[in-house]
Structure 1
Amino acid sequence: METQAEKAADFARLHERGCFVIPNPWDRGTARLLAGLGFRALTTTSAGYARSLGVSDYQAGRDHVLVHVRDLVTATDLPLAADLENGFGHAPEDCAETIRLGAEAGLVGGSIEDATGDERVIYEIAEAADRIRAAAEAAKGLPFKFMLVARCENYLHGRADLVDTIARLQAYQEAGADVLYAPGISTAEEIGEICRSVDRPVNVLGGIGKKPLSVCELAELGVRRVSLGSWLHSAAMTAFVNAAQDESFGYIAELIGGRQMDQWMKEGAG
Structure 2
Amino acid sequence: MSTVEEFRALHLRRAEDDPLILPGPWDAASARVFAEAGFPALATPSAGVAASLGYADGATGADLMFAAVARIARAVDVPVSADVEDGYGLAPEELVERLLGAGAVGCNLEDSQPGGILKDQHEHAEYLAEVCSVAAGRLFVNARVDTFVHGDGDPERAVERATLYTAAGADCVYPILAPPDVLPLLRAGVEGPLNALALLDDGGPSPTALGRLGATRVTFGPGLQRRAVAALREITAGLGS
Q: Same fold (TM over 0.5)?
A: yes
Q: For 1:32 and 1:17, how far apart are their aligned partners in 2?
A: 27
Shift of the 127–209 alpha-carbon distance from structure 1 to 2, 3 Å rule, reads farther
Specify whether residues 242 and 165 from structure 1 end up closer, same or farther in structure 2 by C-alpha distance, changes over 3 A only. same
Output one character per residue of 1:60-92: Cα deviation in whole Å (capped at 9) or x when no partner. 111111111221111010001000100001xxx
1:122 maps to 2:115: no
Measured in 1, the distance between the counterparts of 2:46 and 2:141 equals 16
* Alignment match, 1:12: 8
Asked if 1:217 is matched to 2:205, the reply is no
Q: CA deviation at 1:246?
A: 4.7
The within-5 A match list for 1:126-205 is 126-140=122-136, 145-157=138-150, 159-188=152-181, 190-205=182-197
Q: Distance in 1 between matches of 2:190 and 2:83?
A: 22
SS of aligned partner of 1:204: strand
Q: Deviations for 1:73-129, whole angstroms, at most 9, x for unmatched residues? A: 11010001000100001xxx624421221012211110111111147x110111221
- On the 8 A contact 1:122/1:153 being kept in 2, the answer is yes
- Aligned pair count reads 237
Q: Residues 23 and 12 of structure 1: is their aligned pair in 2 closer, same or farther, counting only changes over 3 Å?
A: same
Cα distance in 2 between the residues matched to 1:148 and 1:247: 44
Question: Which ranges in structure 1 are unaligned for 5 or more consecutive residues?
Answer: 250-270
> Which amino acid in the other structure matches residue 109 of structure 1?
G
Distance 2:69 2:239 in 1: 38
How far does the alpha carbon of each residue in 1:19-42 deviate from its partner, in whole angstroms, 9 at most, with x for none?
210010011110000011110001
* Higher alpha-carbon Rg: 1
- Do residues 207 (structure 1) and 203 (structure 2) align? no
Q: Which residue of structure 1 aligns with residue 107 of structure 2?
A: 110
Structure with higher helix content? 1
Q: In 2, distance between residues paired with 1:62 and 1:42?
A: 20
Which letter maps to 1:187? P
| Pairs within 5 Å for 1:10-49 | 10-18=6-14, 19-49=19-49
Call closer, same or farther: CA 1:61–1:221 in 2, change over 3 Å.
same
Q: What letter corresponds to residue 207 of structure 2 in structure 1?
A: V
CA positional deviation for 1:209 = 9.3
Alignment of 1:49-128 (within 5 A): 49-89=49-89, 94-118=91-115, 121-128=117-124
One-letter code aligned to 1:31: A
Distance in 2 between residues matched to 1:96 and 1:163, nearest whole Å? 32
Query: Which amino acid in the other structure matches residue 62 of structure 1?
Result: A
Runs of 4+ displaced beyond 4 Å: 208-211, 246-249
Give identity over the alignment, percent: 30
Measured in 2, the distance between the counterparts of 1:147 and 1:77 equals 17
Cα distance change on mapping 1:172 and 1:239 into 2, 3 Å: same
Task: Give the conservation status (yes or no) of the 8 Å contact 1:139–1:148.
Answer: no
Distance 2:204 2:93 in 1: 35
Unaligned runs of 5+ residues in structure 2 are none
Normalising by the residue count of structure 1, what TM-score does the alignment of the two structures yield? 0.82
Q: Give the root-mean-square deviation of aligned CA atoms.
A: 2.0
**AA paired with 1:40?**
P
CA distance 1:208–1:193, shift in 2 (3 Å): farther
